[in-house]
Amino acid sequence: MKAKNIIQFLLAGFIVLLLAACSNTDAEQLFEETPTERLNAQKKELNDLLLSSENGWKAVYFTYDSVLGGYTHLFKFASDGTVQMASDFDADTKVYNSEYQIQLGSTVSLVFTTKNRIHLLSESDNYPIAALRSKGYLGDFQFLYYGEENGDIVFKTNRNNHELRFVKATPQDWTDLPKNIDMIKNVVGSDSRPLFRLLETTDGTTTHQFDFTFSEVTRFAEANSIESGYSFTYEMGVGYAPNGIIISPAVEVGGQKLSNFVYNDLDGSFTATGTNGVSATIKYSTKPLVITDDYKALLPGNPQSVYGYISANLYTAPSNSKMFKDLVNKVNATLPATQSLARIQIVFNNATNGTYIQYLFNGGKATISHLVTTKEDAANKTIILTNVGWTQSAANVAFLKELDDQLTNPSGLYVKKESFKITYSNVIWTFTSAASNFRMTTYAL
């Protein structure tokens, strides 16, 4: 073998040995820590992070954003294992003290070990709707640590493995937390605003509109496209903020994700603004976005049909307007303590009595009926109920006047056969005033 080749061979062998030595050293360094030592290092890392923020941490916790909205929590951790905590779960935004631990298991986790505001989301006997009975708000008080990213502490929830981020809080976050509660009335809407709402999106060139509904009790909203040939639905959890709302999952428009909607008190709208003309706005409309012909089935010449509001089952229906519930409460306030309004039934096209509104009561009070005629306003797609007479004297029905005036207003009622159900399999029909914020929810009986 030539000397030149021998030298090249020896050089190649030396390089191989050198690389092997480096690889062995790296492997030794990689595995010289035991799993327990690595977990302890993570435990210290999390502990140092929790204590590092002068004003604590903020988390908007969407426990399950396909059913429920978000709840803002503020935390201030101390080295003695105590934590100060406040939340906007309800109107009580005061700061409470409790204890926490950083625990080791298969991973490192933050556990709130004594009861505080965060536990309101995990109590199985504390639930907002019947569908969540024995499940509560689907929340956790143990959070699995996944590291730090851009200054945030990243956790996964123990219950459903959803990501939750702690961001550094400011003094203003603690001061402004009660403003989240003040924002609720703007999201729900007041009687001074129109009853109907829509979500309008634009990608800079094309605009789409969606019928918008919101449930205060679950902090959850749904928006369905109203355009023929364009079928799309947004379902979103809503979290409150001092200046508006936070949406999860984000509304995606033109490839951009919009989640922070700012409130405008002048018109009651909430707007999220992206770039290049992209935006999404929740705003009011003076009439329904989709006006149906469902009222036609109630006009003279059709078979008898009966629609009943039953207080025991439908008083809390989210499709009832606040105005309707206020008028029901006002009627009940005029009655003796043992009596209350049990039902409002509208009977259309009865063979003997024609069309009439029935008011039925608990506590032995006799039923009161209001005989009416019906006609359609074809241009506005409403049905108009007009007074014929009552089965009792004017003095005896005066306490029903404000409520009855909404059902018989000259502008008529929008009628809609709804797609959702409430408790029973009966089809839901809503009757909505064309002149006010009155909407009553009924069963087809």
* Interacting residues of 303 by C-beta distance below 8 A, sequence separation 6+: 349
Q: What does the alpha-carbon distance between residue 359 and residue 274 come to, in Å, rounded to a whole number?
A: 51
The domain boundary residue, chosen from 285, 305, 327: 285
Query: Residue 31: inside a domain, yes or no?
Result: no
Rounded to an integer, what distance in angstroms lies between the CA atom of residue 151 and that of residue 170?
Answer: 14
Joined tokens for residue 127: 């639930």
Q: Judge if 331 and 374 occupy the same domain.
A: yes
Structure tokens at 106: 């298969």
Is residue 346 domain-resident?
A: yes
pLDDT of 32 over the 80 cut: no
Q: Name the band, by pLDDT with cuts 50, 70 and 90, for residue 3.
A: very low
175-208 confidence digits (pLDDT tens): 999 999 999 999 988 777 888 899 999 998 999 9
| Mean pLDDT in residue range 136-151 | 95
Q: How many domains is the chain built from?
A: 3
Least confident piece of the model among 23-27, 49-53, 99-103: 23-27
- Render pLDDT for 253-306 as a digit per residue (tens, 0 to 9): 999 999 999 999 999 999 999 999 999 999 998 888 888 999 999 999 999 999
- Answer whether residue 175 is part of any domain: no
What secondary structure does DSSP assign to 160-218, as a single string? T--EEEEEE--HHHHHHHHHHHHHHHHHH--TTS-SEEEEEEEESS-EEEEEEEEETTT
Residue with tokens 């926490």: 100
In a domain, 123, yes or no: yes
* Residue 106 pLDDT class (50, 70, 90 cuts): confident
Residue 331 Cα to chain centre, angstroms: 30
**298 and 434 in one domain?**
yes
pLDDT category, 58, cuts 50, 70, 90? Answer: very high
Q: What is the mean pLDDT of residues 44-63?
A: 96
Average pLDDT over residues 326-348: 96
Last residue of a domain, one of 285, 315, 335: 285
User: Does residue 13 fall inside a structural domain?
Assistant: no
Separation CA 130–CA 342 (nearest Å): 21
CATH number (domain holding residue 191): 2.40.128
Q: For 170-175, what is the mean pLDDT? A: 98
Of 63, 57, 124, 55, residue with least CA distance to 89 = 63
Range of the domain at 260: 182-285
Report the percent of the chain where pLDDT is more than 70. Answer: 93
| pLDDT higher than threshold 60 for residue 371 | yes
44 and 136 within one domain: yes
Based on the fold, state whether residues 198 and 274 are members of the same structural domain.
Answer: yes
* CB of 333 closer than 8 Å to CB of 320: no
DSSP 13-53: HHHHHHHHHHHHHHHHHHHSS-HHHHHHHHHHHHHHHHHH-
User: What Cα–Cα distance (Å) separates residue 9 from each residue in 5, 18, 23?
Assistant: 6, 14, 21
In a domain, 5, yes or no: no
CB neighbours of 18 closer than 8 A, spacing ≥ 6? none
Tell me, what's the pLDDT at 189? 80
Q: How confident is the model at residue 13, as a pLDDT?
A: 52
Decide: helix, strand or coil at residue 392: coil
Are residue 333 and residue 424 in the same domain, yes or no?
yes
The residue with tokens 């990501």 is: 163
Asked if 177 contacts 184 with a C-beta cutoff of 8 angstroms, the reply is no
Q: Phi first, then psi: what are they for 28, rounded to 5°? A: -65, -40
Q: Are residues 298 and 281 in the same domain?
A: no
Looking at the chain, the whole-number percentage of residues with pLDDT higher than 90 is 77
Same domain as 419, residue 313: yes
| Distance between CA atoms of residues 263 and 241, nearest Å | 10
Residues 326 and 439 in one domain: yes
Q: For the chain, what's the residue count?
A: 445
The confidence score (pLDDT) of residue 286 equals 84
Other Cβ atoms closer than 10 A to 1: 6
Let me know whether 187 and 267 are in one domain.
yes
For residues 318 and 281, state if they share a domain: no
**3-class secondary structure per residue, 46-102:** HHHHHHHCCCCEEEEEECCCCCCCEEEEEEEECCCCEEEEEECCCCCCCCEEEEEEE
Q: Is residue 7 part of a domain?
A: no
Domain boundary among 255, 285, 315: 285
Mean pLDDT, range 94-108, rounded to an integer: 94
Gap between the Cα atoms of 68 and 155, Å rounded? 19
What pLDDT shows up at residue 105? Answer: 85
Separation of alpha carbons 122 and 132, rounded Å? 12
What is the rounded CA–CA span in Å between residue 264 and residue 277? 19
Q: What sign does the CA torsion over 260, 261, 262, 263 have?
A: negative
> Cα Rg for the chain, rounded, in angstroms?
31
Asked whether residue 305 is domain-assigned, the answer is: yes
Is 440 in the same domain as 298? yes
pLDDT confidence band for 164 (50 / 70 / 90): very high
Confidence of residue 146 (pLDDT cuts 50, 70, 90): very high
Q: Do 272 and 307 sit in the same domain of this protein?
A: no
Task: For 36-69, give one letter per residue: b (16+ CB within 10 A) or e.
Answer: eeebeebbebbeebbeebeebbbbbbbbbbebbb
Which pLDDT does position 16 carry in this prediction? 47
DSSP state of 401: H
Beta strands in 300-399 (DSSP E): 305-310, 340-350, 354-362, 368-377, 382-390
pLDDT tops 80 at residue 349: yes
Question: Residue 24 has what pLDDT?
Answer: 47
Asked if 349 and 302 count as a contact pair (C-beta separation under 8 A), the reply is yes
Instruction: Let me know how many helices (H) and strands (E) the chain has, helices first.
Output: 7, 24
Q: Is the pTM of this model over 0.85?
A: no
